[in-house]
Structure formats: C-alpha cells, structure tokens
Amino acid sequence: MSQLFTYLNDARGRHLEDLLAFLRIPSISAQEVHRPDIERAADFLCDELRSLGLEVEKITGEGNPLVYAQTALDPARPTILIYGHYDVQPVDPEHLWNSPPFEPVVRDGVIYARGASDDKGQLYAHLKAVEAFVRTGTPLPVNVKFLIEGEEEKGGHSVYDYTEKNPEKLACDAVLVSDTSLYDENTPAITFSLRGMCYTEILVDGPAQDLHSGSFGGTVRNPGNAIAAIVAGLHDARGRVTVPGFYDDVVELDAAGRADLNRLPYGEAELVRDTGAPSSSGEAGYSILERMWVRPTCDVNGLWSGYTGEGGKTIIPAKAGAKVSMRLVPNQDPEKIARAFTDHVNALAPAGVKVEVRVLHNANPVLVPRDSAMMQAGLKALETGFGKPATFIGEGGSIPITGTFQSCLKVPVVMLGYGLPNDNIHSPNEKFHLDNYYNGIRTTVAFFGEAAKLAK
C-alpha cells in the first residue's frame, strides 16, 4: 500500500492536469448541440482505460454511448464493478459563474468547473486508482470492471437496458459508485439510501391563442390560474402530499433508525447556512434530515405561463405548464405513483381547460443493508483514504441505475462519496476540492485492498 500511496503523492500534479482535460469537454446530455461532446467524453475515457491495459468497448445504440472496460479476470479474486457518469448538467444561469464552466480553474485548492464533482472528478478518481497499480507494476488484488454512462442527468435508458440484458457480463461481488458526498469536510461517508424519482410534466391548454385580458377576462378559464390551482392542490396545510395513496407503501423508520439518523448534528442553522433560504419548511412531524433522506416529496421544478418579460402585457395566456417531480423512498413504486399522480392532477383540473400529464422518467429508491462485509470494507477504505473515521448517511438525491444493479446483480452497491454537500452540483460554480480528489483516489486503492481480503 505504501508504495502505491508514494506513487499517488508524486503523481498529484499530473492527476490534476488529466482531470482538467476531462472537465474541458462540455458533455451536457440534455442538449442536442452537445452530442459531439458526449462522444468526445466517451472516447476520452476509452482511450485512457485502453492505455491502462484494460479491454475496452464503446457501446453505441440509440442513446449516448456506454463505456465498458475490464481488467484480466482471475476467478480466484473478487470482482468490483465501477459505475459512474460522464455526462453533466446544463450550465445555466451562465452569468452567475465566476469563471467559464468548461474552462476549469483551481483557486485555493478547489477546482471550479461543471462536472467537477458530479460526476467527472469522482469517477476519474477510480481510473487513477487503477493507474497506480498498473504504473507501479503492482498486481491488482481484485478484478475490475467499469460501466460508465452518458445519460444519467437526463434520465436515459441505455444503462438500464444494458444491465438487464448483460447480468453475466456485469457479474461482480460489489458495485462501487462515487457520485455522492462526504457528510461534511471532516467526516467521510458511505451513502446507504437514495431517494427514487417520478418526473412529470403538466400541460394546460386554454384558448387557441393569447387573448386581450380586458376583452375576454372573466369569460374563459385562465390556464395560468388553472396551473396555480393544480400546484396549490398538491400539498395540504401540514406539508403532506395530497396524491391519494402516496404514503401507502412508505417504510417508516423505527425509533432506533430515527434516533440513529437524528444523532447527526444537522438543524435549522445548518440548513439556512447551506441553502441561503430564510428558514426551513416541509412535512410536519419530521426532522430536517428525515425530510431530506427518508420522506417523499413533490416539487415544482419549472412553472410557466403568459408574459414574464419587462413591463406589463394584459393577456389571458393560451397555455401554461409545470414540471413536477416526486422524490420517492422505499418501498414506493414509481409507476404506481405516476398513475396516482396523473389521476389526482386530472381531478384537480378545473373545467374550461385541457390538462395533460406526461411522465418523463422514473427511478427506484434504494436502501443498501449496512452489515455486509463489502460495506464494512468501504468504511475501512474511507478511513484509510481520508485518515478520519467514516459514517453512514442517507441521501435525498437519486442515482437511477443503482436500484437495477441491486435487483439484477444481487450485490451491495457501495457508495463512497468524494464530493461535499456544498459542491454546487447542478448549480453555478460547481466545485471539487483537490484534497477530496486525492483522498478519493487513495480510498479506491484501499477499497481494492480491503475487498481482496474477503473470501470469494
């Protein structure tokens, strides 16, 4: 181990330069103009994995390419499947960035760039861990497979289809994912739960075109008023979601689980500090961490109607719409929720407009049992890599494929987070701390070592 860590210390400058090159590729999956950049990002990974001596496949189909790679497979050794995503979120609002999102800069030991933390920097740490073994001539103590996708951020299908069709090829003893965060800068963490997702769009159609609001106001249903009524009807006064049956399958934490979770020091002050919101809010009867990690939600992600430009314009808008997503927890079923939501929105819709609900994508919630040997190996690896005691945390976000890994591959999904909760992922000035990058690489190296100790 010490020879590997010496190699990593000496290679820091180059490991940074290589990551910056990856971050310069604007691989935004949501925007079609970036399709060539998606291709470049996949090729960048293929080239590097090939140069490390892995057998590499760029898998092309209808969606964005998947990158699959594997080391030589020794049946006597455990196998680790590493998952990550090379696509990134759009950059808007771009004027709020202090430096251009695809011209990474390092200030005070922090890299600023879109994708730095989510997920290029975290994913790339795994490649550099493999590099350390290869370049020092140290035999890898485990077999390593990589499966890397390019449509995580837009809810694409390619990686599901591939996983469902290729469970034997992807067979492994654990899946390793770094696409989450430490608990805070002093506390490395394994994420053992993720929320799922049901993402929808509501479209409201009224008059054939915008109308003068003086001539026609008060005579036809206003789509703007209608979408507001629908959205207002999604919660009750206690902050609970009103979709019938919404909470039926929710697993409630028992008293011990609640106590465990609420031991972490996160309250009103911390939330206000991290979000800049004036105060907390949410479902009555649950702590902030419970609302973040183990309670389901329903939130507007976008809302539009009528004129929103400068000055006034007196119209009844022809159309209105909203993007509404629900974060789901074990054992809610996204498809069942989608049906209940659609029925509920139709019931809330006032007469005089046409309302359509479209379900854009779903993801299952995930709960990883904490007691497996691989999860314990993950804790030890974090402690070695970061030099500090590690803990288990929940996470409110979603990594859609992880549920499918659990059900198809039937192994623990070990989520070792190398980001920080305030890395501004999906926001302006996304960042990734160099210490976390370097400690992350060390952690992956250590995880291979810990995993190798476990009997096959």
Binding site residues, Mn ion, CB under 5 A:
118-119, 179
**Pick from 37, 48, 118, 450: which binds ligand BES (CB under 6 A)?**
118
The contacts of residue 370 (CB under 8 Å, 6+ apart) are: 190, 192, 392
CB of 65 to Mn ion, least distance (A): 17
Strand pairing of 431-433 and 143-149? unpaired
Least distance between ligand BES and beta carbon 155 (Å): 5
- Mode of pairing for the β-strands spanning 79-85 and 174-177: parallel
Distance CA 266, CA 287 (A): 9
Q: Contact 151/64 with Cβ under 8 angstroms?
A: yes
Cα gap 133→120, rounded to integer Å: 21
Closest Cα partner for 88 from 120, 123, 122?
Answer: 120
Site string for ligand BES, 68-107 (x = CB under 6 A): ----------------------------------------
Q: Which is nearer to ligand BES, 123 or 441 (CB)?
A: 123
- Taking CB under 6 A as the binding criterion, the range among 104-112, 258-266, 391-399, 436-444 that sits at the site for ligand BES is 391-399
- Interatomic CA distance for residues 138 and 445, integer angstroms: 11
Angle at CA of residue 168, ends 176 and 452, nearest 5°: 40
Residue 137 CB neighbours (<10 A)? 7
Q: Which does 363 bind (CB under 5 to 8 A by kind): Mn ion, ligand BES, none?
A: ligand BES
* Binding flag, residue 400, ligand BES (CB under 6 A): yes
The listed partner (ligand BES, Mn ion, none) that binds 155, CB under 5 to 8 Å by sort, is ligand BES
404 binds ligand BES (CB under 6 A): no
For 268, how many CA atoms within 13 A lie in the half-sphere containing its CB?
Answer: 4
For ligand BES, the binding residue among 181, 200, 297, 424 (CB under 6 A) is: 181
Q: Does 399 bind ligand BES (CB under 6 A)?
A: yes
Q: How far is the CB of 260 from ligand BES (least distance, A)?
A: 20
The 334-363 contact track toward ligand BES, x by CB under 6 A, reads -----------------------------x
Closest approach of ligand BES to the CB of residue 231, in Å? 19
Q: Which of 27, 64, 180, 436 binds ligand BES (CB under 6 A)?
A: 180
Figure out which of the listed residues 222, 225, 398, 444 binds ligand BES, where binding follows CB under 6 A. Answer: 398
Q: Which is nearer to ligand BES, 12 or 336 (CB)?
A: 336
Let me know: does 186 contact 390? Beta carbons within 8 Å. Answer: no
Of the candidates 90, 100, 141, 155, which one interacts with ligand BES according to CB under 6 A? 155
Q: Based on the shown chain and the rule CB under 6 A, indicate whether residue 430 belongs to the binding site for ligand BES.
A: no
Cβ(443)–Cβ(379) below 8 Å: no
Residue 293's Cβ-side half-sphere holds a number of Cα atoms within 13 Å equal to 22
Instruction: Give the nearest distance from C-beta 395 to ligand BES in angstroms.
Output: 5
CB-based contacts of 425: which residues, under 8 Å, 6+ apart?
89, 117, 118, 419
Q: Tell me which of ligand BES, Mn ion, none is bound by residue 398, counting a contact when its beta carbon lies within the kind-specific cut-off of 5 to 8 angstroms.
A: ligand BES
Report yes or no: 452 and 229 within 8 Å, Cβ to Cβ: no
The rounded distance, in Å, linking the Cα atoms of 156 and 152 is 6
Contacting residue, 48, 149, 152, 290, with ligand BES by CB under 6 A: 152
SS3 of residue 7 by DSSP: helix
Helix (H) or strand (E) holding 342: helix 334-348
Nearest approach, Cβ of 400 to ligand BES (angstroms)? 5
Report the residue closest to ligand BES, judged by CB.
Answer: 397
From ligand BES, Mn ion, none, interface partner of 395 (C-beta below 5 to 8 A by class): ligand BES
Cβ distance 40 to 25 under 8 Å? yes
Query: Cα separations (Å) of 305 from 172, 202, 211, 316, 319?
Result: 49, 12, 13, 9, 6
Q: Which stretch binds ligand BES (CB under 6 A): 33-41, 235-243, 264-272, 393-401?
A: 393-401
Cβ nearer to ligand BES, comparing 142 with 177: 177
Alpha carbons 117 and 94: distance in angstroms, whole number: 18
Nearer to ligand BES by Cβ, of 37 and 118: the residue is 118
Name the residues that contact ligand BES, by CB under 6 A. Answer: 118-119, 152-153, 155, 179-181, 197, 363, 395, 397-400
